[in-house]
Structure 1
Amino acid sequence: MKIAITGGTGLVGRALSSELVRNGHEVFILTRKVNEQSINSVKLVQWLNPGDQPESQLEGIDAIVNLAGATINGRWTEEYKQKIIDSRIKATTEVKRIIMALNDKPPVLINASAVGYYGTSLAGEFNEQSGPGIDFLSDTVQRWESSANEVKEFGTRVVLCRFGLILDKNGGALPRMVLPYKFFGGGKVGTGDQWLSWVHIKDVIRGILFAIESSKLDGPVNFVAPSPVTMDQFGKVLSLVLDRPHWLPVPGFALKIALGEMSMLVLEGQRVIPEKLLNAGFSFQYPELEKALREILSE
């Protein structure tokens, strides 16, 4: 297959492009700056600059995977929140323009999204039929998904990957979560009762490939393992795997002072179930947290 990826230098983009190349597929990475030559099956395509015409190199592609967008891990000033929104809408709007310009429309757009769509809850359980929340992240995801869905007018199937917390040793939140345990300072964060919907990076990549090939799978799809845990349970499993104590609590007010509004990412959560992936026949390689963390942290 010929697959175009935006956000190809991010956590998911790097892992996805490596897996695609390993399996003999042709990969096009859309990037603002092409400062190196394309290598083997990876071709670098410049986009989002005045005058760029990436569509000239993308005829005949089988799928576009849109992962572009500013990280949400910066302090949420009003300016940075606008950057989070604008970066996603700008990239997705450009993806739509590219598809419109192609003579041969790609059969599928795989568009990144997030379980933040559902808002937060200590007691509720969410699947793909659940409604949206009313906070900043939910509003951002709703705008992002609405922009991606505009591609349907070209006959392109749209899959909205609502990612949970992606676990990987090379990036994302896990290395920062592991650090205090390595120094014997790990413990409960906030009340510890907040739900954490997580997924192993390998299941993310397998799930994206499954979504590309599964023509009946469309719309929002939760990319989370089928066994969400509370933050306290997560810490206890992490301490078991690392053979370190789970004893030193981090009070919620301290995180609110340190992180501001962004503290909701760790102090609030939601229990999300991957109903559509399971019903479509997808089998998780890492459905349980302990197995996932042991694989990731084994080296």
Structure 2
Amino acid sequence: MKVLITGATGFIGGHLVPRLLEDGHELIVMSRSQAKAQQQFGSAVRVITHLDQIQSDEQLDGIINLAGAGIADKRWNDARKKVLIDSRLEITGGLVSLIKRLEHKPEVMISGSAIGYYGCRDDDLLLSEEGEMVDDYTHALCQRWESEALQAQEEHVRVCVIRTGIVLGQGGALAKMLPPFRLGLGGPVADGQQWMSWIHLQDELEIIAMLLTHEQFSGAYNLTAPEAVTSATFSHQLAKALSRPAWFRVPAFVLQLMLGEGSDLLVKGQRVYPLRLLDAGYQFVYPQLRDALQQVVNTRD
């Protein structure tokens, strides 16, 4: 398949590109920095910097949309929240416009989302894809992002929306957690009872590759391992994988000072369950947190 990928130089995209190249796909990578993308992937991919570089008569078979400003990179204020939404809606809307002008429509569009779709919450409710939402900013962000992507269905394109949890791999969120834990200074956030829904990077990549090539998949999917854990359990398992203690806690007020409203991403959580993937027969490579963390830690070492 000839596949266009946005956000390819990010954490997930940077690993997805070589995974799809292994399967023999022909890849077009869109990046704001052509030099960065070419340095990262070499001549194995074609790099573009704007969607206008795709001609209307080009045959695209699939689109994978992973672009968007980092959700926890900066403190949230009104300006930052606007950047988070605009960075997602603009590129997703641009992709839908591209599909409309293409003479040959792609078979599938896979578009990013997050488990923030269910809102930042402090309950124990197990959330499948039809789960109850809390109407807050994170839900509004993901809901608008998904709605924009689903407009591609009007062009008879199969659309899959991936609601991704915390991705565990070499980089991403875990890269920020590891330094204090390696020093024995790690521990749970706030009271440690909030839920953390996670997925190993290998499962994330395998699922995206599966959604791309199997026409029976469409709609929203929770990309999380079957067993969410609390922050306290996650901290204990990570410290154990590193043979370190986990005695320290990060108070909620410290995170609120650092991230503003964005601290809800860490102080609250979601207990998410990948019902649709399991019903479809997907078998997770890393269903257990202990094994997932061991693999990442051992690989880094």
Q: Tell me by how many angstroms 1:283 deviates.
A: 1.1
Say which SS state the counterpart of residue 35 (structure 2) adopts.
coil
1:2 has 2:5 as partner: no
Q: Deviations along 1:66-125, whole A, 9 cap, x unmatched?
A: 011111121101101000000100000100111111111111000000000101232211
CA distance in 2, matches of 1:112, 1:173: 17
Asked if structure 2 preserves the Cα contact closer than 8 Å seen for 1:121 and 1:268, the reply is yes
Q: Which amino acid aligns with 1:145?
A: E
The alignment status of 1:89 with 2:110, answered yes or no, reads: no
CA contact (8 A) 1:163 1:222 kept: yes
User: In the alignment, what sits opposite 1:127?
Assistant: 128
Q: Does 1:71 align with 2:67?
A: no
Residue 80 of structure 2 is aligned to residue 80 of structure 1: yes
Q: Which runs of 5+ in 1 are unaligned?
A: none
| Structure 2 Cα separation of the partners of residues 218 and 131 of structure 1 | 20
**Is 1:41 equivalent to 2:44 in the alignment?**
yes
What is the Cα-based RMSD across aligned positions, in Å?
Answer: 1.5
**Match of 2:194, as an amino acid?**
Q
Change (3 A) 1:176 1:35: closer
Gaps of 5+ in 2: none
Q: How does 1:116-265 map to 2 (within 5 A)?
A: 116-119=116-119, 120-169=121-170, 171-265=171-265
1:138-168 Cα shifts (integer Å, max 9, x gaps): 1000110110011001100110000001111
Does the Cα contact within 8 Å between 1:54 and 1:98 map onto a contact in 2? no
Q: Secondary structure at the match of 1:29?
A: strand
Does the Cα contact within 8 Å between 2:57 and 2:103 map onto a contact in 1?
no
- Kept in 1, the 8 Å contact 2:57–2:104? The answer is no
- Partners of 1:82 and 1:58 in 2: how far apart? 34
Identical amino acids, percent of aligned pairs: 38
* Normalised TM-score (structure 1): 0.94
Q: Could you tell me the TM-score, scaled by structure 2's length?
A: 0.94
Report the residue type matching 2:209 in the other structure: L
CA displacement 1:268-292 (0-9 Å, x = unmatched): 0010000111111111101100100
Change (3 A) 1:86 1:203: same
Where is the helix percentage greater, Structure 1 or Structure 2?
2
Q: Is the 8 A contact 2:56 2:102 kept in 1?
A: no
Q: Check conservation: 1:165, 1:199, Cα contact below 8 A.
A: yes
Aligned length: 294
